[in-house]
């Protein structure tokens, strides 16, 4: 079963268009949504939640069309963390628990208290007095305390130190141990996504350049180094991206399409994304 089915999702602003986004995300997986600032990651998440009007396309989340009248009930099953947490400045975690108890029918106060303890969050301190890391931990505590089946995390790890990021990524991993729990994590910190994601979606200038299983990406792509002439001799279909500088050239290639005589190097997600970004920029 798919947790999300997204077909031709489109949103046009004056100076930016999120264009024809289509993908299926199986339930029980973690999707990393990666892209440069302004690529359309946050817009995509807002459109998935029908939080902003769209110009085209169709979205089904947890089996419900996101523009059907029932969708606000489906939102009970979706935990959301935005990059700035967005709670009123003066509210304390204790009051926030009560507020969310009124907002979510499935609110689990004991679970919330457990997360506050785990993240060592003071119950009576005002939100505005929290550090960035504490704010994100509080938002995550809320998102995980109403029995959500889907988590949408918009830059939830950005601006945090590596230790806090690691702690938070562990929590997301634990969440997906429940068979049908699904996560979408948008970030431009590719190393975070490489650690925990099953799927990678790469948005670039409003277009979905790539949607693929992470392991398949890492198996399929490799780096080839050589002179510019050597790389020019490669089958163009095999080359996904190329960089040439004064010291030589390197290309991101599809392993299956290049001759065995070429020595390939293992690549990582960051390199794949950078090569693809460069390639799609030049082809746009």
Partner 1 sequence: MKALLYKDFLVLWKQMKFVIFMVAIFCIAPSTTGFSLNTFFVAYAGMMVPATLFAYDERAKWDSLAAMMPFTTQDMVLSRYVFSWLATAYAVLCYFIGQLFFESGFPDEALITLGLTLTLLLVVQAIYFPILFRLGSEKGRMLLLLVIIGIMVLAFLGAAVLDKLAVAPSPSVTLPGLVIGAALSLASVKVSVKQYEQRIW
Interface positions, 124-143, toward partner 1 (CB under 8 A)? none
Q: How far is the CB of 149 from partner 1 (least distance, A)?
A: 14
CB atoms near residue 236 (< 10 Å): 7
Query: What is the C-alpha to C-alpha distance for residues 69 and 83, in angstroms, rounded to an integer?
Result: 27
Taking the least distance from each CB to partner 1, the nearer of 125 and 195 is 125
Query: What is the C-alpha to C-alpha distance for residues 128 and 106, in angstroms, rounded to an integer?
Result: 27
Token pair 């009560």 is at which residue?
98
Interface positions, 138-197, toward partner 1 (CB under 8 A)? 152
- 123 contacts partner 1 (rule: CB under 8 A): no
What 8-state DSSP symbol labels residue 50? T
Query: Where in the chain does DSSP place strands (E)?
Result: 2-12, 17-26, 30-34, 56-61, 64-65, 78-81, 150-154, 182-187, 199-204, 207-213, 221-226, 239-245, 248-254, 264-265
**Are 258 and 220 within 8 A, CB to CB?**
no
What 8-state DSSP symbol labels residue 40? S
Span of 16-24, 99-107, 167-175, 215-223 interacting with partner 1 by CB under 8 A: 99-107
Taking the least distance from each CB to partner 1, the nearer of 52 and 233 is 52
Interface positions, 25-64, toward partner 1 (CB under 8 A)? 46, 49, 51-53
Span of 23-31, 74-82, 214-222, 239-247 interacting with partner 1 by CB under 8 A: 74-82
Taking the least distance from each CB to partner 1, the nearer of 95 and 220 is 95
- 82 contacts partner 1 (rule: CB under 8 A): yes
Span of 15-23, 56-64, 82-90, 111-119 interacting with partner 1 by CB under 8 A: 82-90
- 84 contacts partner 1 (rule: CB under 8 A): yes
**Are 147 and 79 within 8 A, CB to CB?**
no
Residues that bind partner 1 (CB under 8 A): 46, 49, 51-53, 72-73, 75-76, 78, 80, 82, 84-91, 95, 98-100, 102-105, 152
């Amino acid at each position: 079963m798919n947790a999300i089915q997204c077909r031709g999702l489109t949103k046009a602003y004056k100076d930016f268009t999120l264009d024809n986004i289509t993908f299926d995300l199986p339930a029980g997986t973690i999707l990393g949504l990666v892209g440069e600032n302004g690529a359309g990651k946050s817009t995509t998440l807002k459109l998935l939640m029908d939080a902003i009007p769209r110009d085209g396309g169709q979205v089904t989340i947890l089996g419900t069309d996101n523009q059907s009248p029932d969708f606000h009930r489906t939102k009970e099953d979706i935990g959301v963390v935005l990059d700035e947490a967005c709670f009123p400045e003066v509210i304390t975690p204790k009051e926030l628990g009560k507020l969310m108890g009124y907002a979510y029918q499935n609110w689990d106060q004991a679970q919330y208290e457990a997360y506050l303890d785990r993240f060592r969050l003071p119950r009576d301190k005002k939100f505005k007095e929290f550090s960035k890391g504490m704010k994100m931990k509080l938002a995550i505590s809320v998102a995980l305390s109403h029995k959500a089946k889907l988590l949408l995390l918009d830059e939830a790890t950005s601006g945090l130190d590596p230790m806090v990021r690691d702690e938070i990524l562990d929590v997301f991993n634990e969440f997906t141990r429940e068979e049908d729990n699904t996560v979408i994590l948008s970030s431009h910190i590719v190393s975070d996504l490489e650690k925990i994601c099953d799927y990678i979606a790469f948005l670039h200038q409003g277009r979905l350049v790539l949607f693929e299983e992470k392991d398949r990406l890492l198996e399929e792509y490799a780096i080839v180094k050589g002179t510019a002439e050597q790389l020019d001799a490669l089958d163009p279909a095999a080359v996904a991206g190329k960089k040439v500088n004064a010291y030589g050239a390197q290309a991101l290639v599809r392993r299956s399409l290049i001759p065995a005589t070429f020595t390939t190097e293992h690549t990582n997600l960051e390199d794949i994304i950078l090569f693809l970004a460069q390639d799609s920029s030049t082809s746009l």
